[in-house]
Structure 1
């Protein structure tokens, strides 16, 4: 498995852990802004953090016109995300992304293309991106993706459960999805852009972890507002609180809206400042931002050559 840390077995639904939480939005936004305003990393330090961003990236294609050929090309990129001269100049023998994420019908093609690489396949499921399907069908989609070879499942929640504060319904839904995953790791997508308040984001995060989620993830990438630093800070504080109560480390995945090398650094700085360097590994941190890879490649090529790299030299697949 790609995540050797202890699986999250969850807890009983315990509203006392979150019901009285009220997130101070201005304070959260101020803290997030300060993180983004840190002194910029430069030179070899910046390059090392950008390489780590690649290691923690879920390289993703979730388009309506996906084909096995496109997925195979993306998997080739996951196996070798940097050009050989850049890799050698950085002193690296091998570098891969953390995973490749696709639709359930593309899982088998991805598993075949990644055979022997050690890169796992993640699959979205449960009626991605809206989640508006009957629960039995969503559970069957999970089982289908796992049967095709997916080692990780990115599920979507029913947002209405959060908006109605129906925590029992949300808990039962995610717990059933966790069971359907079997040995596959579950990443719970909260679609935070639909949840209206940071307090709802915190509460939904805590319920997802109590129900057994191994990762909590910000967004599908299809919402109007996707990953933001204030939302991410709120979720990371929630997983930190959950860990303090249970001793279990939960992973975090921001997704959507991140496009630049500076974004790759900002989210890693957030993790380092809030939960420490231990989280800056693929077992506990993922970046759902495939378009960011091209920007990181350009930045690393510029670092090793001293010349500005052209964007057309860094197509994703």
Structure 2
């Protein structure tokens, strides 16, 4: 089966999956195909022995989540081509278990950007267009418990100014909400004030809530997700945090920190899951396990 054939079949998935998922599918199957070519093995259909050997080869220097994702991509390719699926063969499942047992390190969690860190960062933001934008972005991202892709995708139409001085924000699509039903989240009065200050500086002529700034002027396009990560890191550095702390921060740190703060503030699991849009208690528990929360205190 040549590359052109499986790629044409993957076109059927366009629109049904997110661009990030589609990118992973293409990349993973390309990597599998290149490995098979080097090993002199057939790509599609693959045998259980081929898939098992590939998984064990991929385990070297890669995370368990990457290895497992590549298995899913191989599975999707076989199913799209209506070929016998080798990925559920017992030999493959045993190979996956061997890889998992060999990788006994715990999944790395993004460093939490907790309330105390956020407040210190906010105090150092300058009264400039960049500073006002960054203060609003960090404060909103923390209180909405957003992923950086969700924060980048927000538009003015998603925000409602409430009579009590807070904001209600519709997060229209997320990693766990591929059909775009959205979730509602709310802010404090202080975060609304930061958003208002940013919009007063920026103007209302741009539909994206957050946008790039060049030479002091806002540009009518959304921020990239990598820019949000860089804002988190550069803001922490400017606030005086050391290089190791800054290195371990990511665009996900606001979501992790807010979840941990909600736990230590006494909110129950249902409230935290609703605030952050979690569907699974197991997933939420990974966010909370590093929280400084002593139930005996």
Mark yes or no: TM-score above 0.5: no
Of the two, which has the highest radius of gyration? 2
Specify which structure has the bigger relative contact order, considering alpha-carbon pairs within 8 angstroms and separated by 6 or more residues.
1
Higher helix share: 2
Q: What TM-score does the superposition give when structure 1 sets the normalisation length?
A: 0.22
